[in-house]
Amino acid sequence: MERQKIFDNTEVAFQLKSDTELERAHFLFKMISIEPLVKIGTAVTNFAIKANLPVEGLIRSTVFDHFCGGVNEDDCLDIIERMYELGVSSVLDYSVEGKESEAHFDAAMEKTLKIIRFSEEKDSMPIAVFKPTGFGRFHLYQKKGEGKPFTADEQAEWDRVVDRFDKVCRLGKERDVEILIDAEESWMQDAADQLVTEMMRKYNTESTIVYNTLQMYRHDRMDFLKAEHEVAKKEGFLLGYKIVRGAYMEKENDRALEKGYLSPICESKQATDINFNDAVKYILDNLDTISLFAGTHNEESSYLVMDLMQKKNIENADNRVWFGQLFGMSDNISFNLANLGYNVAKYVPFGPVKDVMPYLIRRAEENTSVAGQTGRELMLIKKEKARRKLK
């Protein structure tokens, strides 16, 4: 099949969706394509949750069930196994955000350790993931990154963050489960980056276990990648990077404007795209020392990875190259890639409904229509409905 048409196959893309599920997805994406509705919906939902109004059922049967695997790990197992039968692996993602107590950080770490132990037994889950702010306070990362001195209490708190990272990465190494570490806001990311590099230095000795994330909407990330590569080559450890465009653009631009510094975000979408592609090229040129996890819903970027792999005679199933999408999105990319034997993993978020709201809101926002265009998910769903001759 002509390469640029591979992702158009909606039959392969939606083979796990019943007609009813497809109808539900159609309704959902139609709703969230309307920007004012998402804005109002978000405000009303946040208010309703704070006021303890009984809205969980409604959230669950709409956005939650589409974008999340369930409330706990066990809820997700059925869909994980069904996806794996079609060649798509899963990364269970404990998506609770904004909890800042030591008890919550310990609980998030325990969840991640449990998932790693789980992963060891299940071929369908070869990779685990966590967010730096799931393991430590946002402002602590920020203070560390700014080079400000810690109080004795803060130092002890930071030592516990380091310990959580270390426990998870060590178990990943022992059980041969790869660990992806997400990237977040730039003003806390420096400290997280230093810590992740430390983990790579320690655990990526024989194979790549630990992966950091590079948000290529940041114009400084190519320089960062090259600098890290120099260090890793000199010291003899391997690098792993999840390459994404980045999910916090508005927040980044707003803060830069408010505080009067140059925004870390590229000047245009096109500049971000070029930066993303440059990172892909750089990594594939250096695959002996850097592994790639391409986290994207962008078809062009996915085709680029495929084309470069072919040019460089890298096998589709080479374990140093993974593609990743989020559950509930871009099944046309995930299932068609898997069909061709590429390594593909979907993030499968889970957690209590009200605690995964920030995640769900980001998904709704990124699926609102841009300047009146039909969103790509909606377009694909409509195409598949027409193919199945559903009304």
Ligand X SMILES: Cc1cc2nc3c(=O)[nH]c(=O)nc-3n(C[C@H](O)[C@H](O)[C@H](O)COP(=O)(O)OP(=O)(O)OC[C@H]3O[C@@H](n4cnc5c(N)ncnc54)[C@H](O)[C@@H]3O)c2cc1C
**What is the binding site for ligand X (CB under 6 A)?**
182-183, 213, 215, 217, 244-249, 265-266, 268-269, 272, 295-298, 324-326, 347, 366
Q: Shortest CA distance to 330 belongs to which of 124, 88, 129? A: 88
User: The dihedral of CA 168, 172, 173, 178: what is its sign?
Assistant: negative
Rank residues 248 and 335 by Cβ distance to ligand X and give the closer one.
Answer: 248
Q: Which residues pair with 89 in a beta bridge?
A: 345
Minimum CB separation of residue 156 from ligand X in Å reads 28
Residue holding tokens 């989020």?
A: 326
Minimum CB separation of residue 376 from ligand X in Å reads 8
Rank residues 48 and 271 by Cβ distance to ligand X and give the closer one.
Answer: 271
Minimum CB separation of residue 387 from ligand X in Å reads 24
CA distances from 315 to 25, 95, 341, 365 (A): 34, 33, 9, 36
The tokens for 263 are 């925004």
Minimum CB separation of residue 192 from ligand X in Å reads 10
Rank residues 182 and 331 by Cβ distance to ligand X and give the closer one.
Answer: 182
Residue type for 337, please?
A: L
Minimum CB separation of residue 384 from ligand X in Å reads 20
The tokens for 1 are 């099949």
Minimum CB separation of residue 270 from ligand X in Å reads 8
Residue type for 356, please?
A: V
Residue holding tokens 């003899």?
A: 236
Minimum CB separation of residue 185 from ligand X in Å reads 9
Rounded Cα distance between 338 and 198, Å, is: 33
Three-class SS of residue 243? strand
- Measure CA 146 to chain center: 26
Beta strands in 274-342 (DSSP E): 290-295, 321-326
Residue type for 248, please?
A: Y
Rank residues 101 and 270 by Cβ distance to ligand X and give the closer one.
Answer: 270
Rounded Cα distance between 252 and 235, Å, is: 33
* Residue 328 DSSP label: T
Rank residues 204 and 325 by Cβ distance to ligand X and give the closer one.
Answer: 325
Rounded Cα distance between 355 and 178, Å, is: 26
Rank residues 41 and 246 by Cβ distance to ligand X and give the closer one.
Answer: 246
Rank residues 52 and 336 by Cβ distance to ligand X and give the closer one.
Answer: 336
Strands 290-295 and 239-244 come out as parallel
Minimum CB separation of residue 50 from ligand X in Å reads 26
Minimum CB separation of residue 365 from ligand X in Å reads 10
Residue type for 280, please?
A: V
Rounded Cα distance between 67 and 250, Å, is: 22
CB 211 within 8 A of CB 241: yes
Rank residues 326 and 356 by Cβ distance to ligand X and give the closer one.
Answer: 326
Minimum CB separation of residue 153 from ligand X in Å reads 29
User: The dihedral of CA 328, 334, 335, 336: what is its sign?
Assistant: positive
Rank residues 8 and 23 by Cβ distance to ligand X and give the closer one.
Answer: 8
Terminal Cα distance for the chain, rounded: 29
Rank residues 102 and 301 by Cβ distance to ligand X and give the closer one.
Answer: 301
